[in-house]
Structure 1
């Protein structure tokens, strides 16, 4: 009865079904992992925003990395901006999804260490090779408050770290890479670059430019991603359960359809009555 399962069509169908089941189960766990990761990150963001600002050197060190639980933590630093070694980060968007640059300015602390400060977004100039005109930061000795961030990597951001860019333009904000770049330019202070970087909160830029990087709580997509991942995980697991059920239904239907055909063939094969 079940010899049809050995036909080419059914062998291929069975192999596809067997491959789909573990794939869909894996996709379900992947969505669940994204859900758990988003929940954990939202808790870190909420805790960091509720905490009082602390001196940056209590959370960041030269050559070190920013701990996951310290992401988005407000930190303070006193020193001056080094605009002579300012960089721009390509292909960044603002709140209106316009593509431009992020302005990365070394901030030299009173003890000589350097904190990389993302001062915000500016629009792209007509030329993609010329260094853009950037509004100046506060001059002289100043105390800044900023949002502490981890170094950016291609694996975490999905942004390819393109080489051979125009002078003073980068793709990722990575303290080790930027420190090396600054040392190549002859900046003596770049020997003591703190790990990670910070997004400037205050003092506010004169005239509103560069546009400050928005706080994560203002991004409504955070809620949407968290709400969607868990239902997607359940959906994938339901799909995985439906595959063997669907295969069985098709097999029974095939068997049912082949029954009358087999009977007709048998009758045709019988010798005619004399």
Structure 2
């Protein structure tokens, strides 16, 4: 199998090996991980709808970062809004339309300050914001979904339409922009809560095609290896004269086993037959 040492075959072998490695050790595991993550998100959404609200302090310790296990849990918080720390999260898409979510700190009766997502407002055709009603000034008890921080955005905060605005629902970023320190995470209000605008709807369950994508990558890797074996076998047979000529090069007088018709041998055999028939030998 000396042909495997040719530059073209060495390059092909390396490409196939790299592709198969990527399929089995990078791409397929990545999709399996995404599948598990999406299944977890779907399960959390299901629990959010089915579980009754509980005081936030029962699922998240004061000042602690909420864990993945409490994402989307329904919680209640009692306290007073602090509108001086209000910040908008811009460039959101809600039900297919551009919007901004209104984040307002709420000082709880337990001494903790929690960020509350009061809902969203839609921008007009020119991107301008409508007037935003202020939250009630009294002590309120609100219910909502416990959400996790999205992470610090790469773009800086800005002031537009008289409102401080950021590009991600991240408690630390909003606290730095609004000047009111809050605990990690935020509470996304349910409809009909004190201070709510238009409540952000729950996202639909993810159809989760990642599991199928993972198996596709595994199959692609297997196909690449199978194709390499097929062409290597074909080259080996050609190198050792085991591969019959292409059909266009075949003579109709060739034998059924693929051996070629030999004109000289056929002519000699014919002469011998004629000599036997007419007694010339």
- In the alignment, which residue of structure 1 is the partner of 2:52? 52
Q: What TM-score does the superposition give when structure 1 sets the normalisation length?
A: 0.76
Residues 194-240 of structure 1 deviation map (CA, whole Å, 9 limit, x = unaligned): 3210111043589xx84311123xx14x1x11xx2222222211222
Q: How many residues are matched?
A: 241
The residue matched to 1:63 in structure 2 has which SS?
A: coil
1:233 and 2:226 aligned: no
- In the alignment, which residue of structure 1 is the partner of 2:226? 245
Give the ranges of 4+ consecutive aligned residues of structure 1 lying more than 6 Å apart after TM superposition. none
Q: What TM-score does the superposition give when structure 2 sets the normalisation length?
A: 0.74
Contact 1:60 1:195 in 2 (8 A): no
Paired residues for 1:82-231 under 5 Å? 82-95=82-95, 97-125=96-124, 133-153=131-151, 160-166=153-159, 168-183=164-179, 190-191=180-181, 193-204=182-193, 210-216=197-203, 219-220=204-205, 222=206, 224-225=207-208, 228-231=209-212
CA drift at 1:116: 0.9
The residue matched to 2:158 in structure 1 has which SS?
A: coil
Contact 2:80 2:108 in 1 (8 A): yes
Q: Which runs of no fewer than 5 residues in structure 2 stay unpaired?
A: 246-281
- In the alignment, which residue of structure 2 is the partner of 1:72? 72
Q: Which runs of no fewer than 5 residues in structure 1 stay unpaired?
A: 155-159, 184-189, 265-274
Q: Which protein has the bigger helix share?
A: 1
The residue matched to 2:11 in structure 1 has which SS?
A: helix
Distance 2:76 2:174 in 1: 21
CA drift at 1:47: 2.8
Q: Which has the larger radius of gyration?
A: 2
**Greater relative contact order structure (CA < 8 Å, 6+ sep):** 1
- In the alignment, which residue of structure 1 is the partner of 2:23? 24
